[in-house]
Amino acid sequence: MSEQEVKIISTTGKAAAVRIGDKTYIIARSYIGNAKKGHKATIPVEAISTGTEYGIDWSVIIPDGITITPEEIQSALYSQGIFTIEDVEHNPNGVVNAVGSLIRKTSANLYKKVHEIIGGT
């Protein structure tokens, strides 16, 4: 019987969420024994086939990804007074603020896309 090492993400009732590489599966808790959240366990490979892959397939939601253009980066940096390499070196907080504004905008775009697909507010 072949075995697979997994990381325990969570457990509840008779189910366990386990991570293998970049995928998460819901399997019967009995396969992980007494292993706790955050720890590793070795389970039979067959346990994965009895489970269900868990999580949204984000490639369906955002098939083209989310892009930040060079112009948007420039605008964010300029808004923080970052115009030169020296400005970057002397104003790290401004750089962090500029990047933060891009992340907030990207998050807003992601929320908008999700709501277009699933509805809601």
pLDDT confidence of residue 49: 86
pLDDT confidence of residue 30: 93
Q: Where are the domains of the chain?
A: 3-55, 59-118
pLDDT confidence of residue 9: 95
pLDDT confidence of residue 114: 83
Calculate Rg over the CA atoms of the chain.
Answer: 22
Run means of pLDDT, 10 residues per run, the chain, 121 residues: 91 94 93 92 90 84 86 97 97 97 92 80 55
pLDDT confidence of residue 111: 87
Residue 62 in tokens: 């955002």
In angstroms, the CA 44 to CA 4 distance is 6
